[in-house]
């Protein structure tokens, strides 16, 4: 049995107060159907809410006791919070720990280690399935060290025996941490938004968004000539972990592609690009972006070469946010 699975699971019995409104609504509906005075039903519903509130408090007290026992490394006291035939099941491994004796053995082994993790939880809900059964859902946070933190979603079934709420079943899932390159790309966040540039008979529109998890910036552009869509394309900007730099990939509607390498220099971003032209040729150019204090940016394209021919530069122009 791997202790790393047991730790986040055993911490699952840490709840917070919840509001019990469902019983009040159902009580009012029942009163209306039966034709009974709503005032009388409201009183009954209030009593039910008070009872549930009291039971919630009892569960919270058990939770507080459980946390204290864990932090005090008291294996027997921890196991006493479980029903005699309580079962923990790890959804990730499928392994089970059954009964108080097994719990004591597992906790004792854990507490003999040099470093014992700290426990925290974020309870999402507590529901009363019946007067003697309650369900808690939430997230457990087990901290072994500053750089070793395990988060798991969990569900705990409590049963009430002789007036005491005990843990009967626990299941958990270790959360998958999705890596993000946002830290490497956040200096380009000023690109996010809707942009527009108009001239004599033409109009360029650019829309920039973060992709899921902020791993890439996605820029879609459209070029209109005399009101008609002339060309369009998609540019994706991301972090190249192998080369430790920001790169972009552009796919044009005519079939051409452009790969760019981004670098930050003083007040500007310089993008050195190599193009594979739709007709099979090659090209290269350098784009320069200068963010402005008013939220707009200035842009120019220099060192333009296509199929070995030098092309004129595109002079700096202001691109405005819509």
- Segment 260-316, tens digit of pLDDT: 999 999 999 999 999 999 989 999 999 999 999 999 999 999 999 999 999 999 999
176 pLDDT exceeds 70? Answer: no
5 pLDDT exceeds 80? Answer: no
pLDDT, averaged across the chain: 82
Domains of the chain, start order: 3-174 (3.10.450.50), 182-321 (2.40.128.20)
Token pair 């720990």 in the structure block, residue:
97
pLDDT for 11: 35
Highest mean pLDDT among 23-27, 128-132, 152-156, 168-172: 128-132
pLDDT for 90: 55
Instruction: Note the pTM of the prediction, 2 decimals.
Output: 0.51
Average pLDDT over residues 157-161: 93
For a pLDDT cut of 90, what percent of the chain falls above it? 48
pLDDT for 93: 59
137 in Cβ contact with 38 (< 8 Å): no
pLDDT for 95: 75
């Amino acid at each position: 049995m791997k202790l790393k699975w047991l730790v986040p699971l055993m911490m699952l019995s840490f709840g917070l107060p919840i509001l019990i409104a469902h019983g009040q609504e159902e009580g009012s509906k029942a009163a209306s159907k039966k034709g009974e005075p709503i005032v009388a039903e409201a009183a009954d519903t209030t009593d039910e809410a008070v009872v549930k509130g009291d039971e919630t408090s009892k569960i919270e007290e058990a939770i507080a006791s459980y946390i204290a026992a864990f932090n005090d490394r008291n294996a027997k006291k921890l196991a006493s919070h479980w029903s005699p035939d309580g079962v923990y099941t790890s959804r990730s491994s499928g392994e089970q720990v059954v009964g108080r004796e097994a719990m004591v053995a597992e906790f004792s082994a854990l507490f003999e280690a040099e470093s014992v993790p700290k426990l925290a939880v974020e309870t999402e809900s507590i529901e009363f399935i019946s007067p003697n059964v309650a369900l808690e859902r939430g997230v457990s946070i087990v901290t072994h060290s500053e750089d070793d933190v395990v988060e798991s979603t969990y569900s705990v079934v409590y049963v009430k025996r002789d007036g005491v709420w005990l843990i009967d079943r626990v299941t958990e899932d270790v959360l998958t941490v999705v890596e993000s390159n946002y830290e490497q790309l956040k200096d380009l966040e000023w690109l996010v938004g809707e942009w527009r540039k108009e001239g004599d008979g033409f109009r360029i529109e650019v829309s920039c968004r973060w992709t899921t998890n902020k791993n890439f910036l996605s820029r879609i552009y459209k070029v209109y000539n005399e009101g008609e869509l002339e060309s369009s394309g998609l540019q994706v900007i991301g972090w190249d972990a192998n080369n430790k730099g920001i790169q972009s990939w552009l796919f044009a509607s005519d079939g051409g592609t452009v790969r760019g390498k981004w670098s930050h220099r003083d007040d500007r971003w310089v993008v050195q690009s190599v193009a594979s032209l739709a007709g099979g040729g090659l090209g290269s150019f350098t784009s320069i972006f200068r963010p402005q204090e008013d939220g707009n940016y200035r842009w120019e394209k220099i060192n333009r070469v296509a199929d070995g021919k030098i092309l004129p530069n595109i002079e700096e122009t202001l691109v405005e946010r819509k």
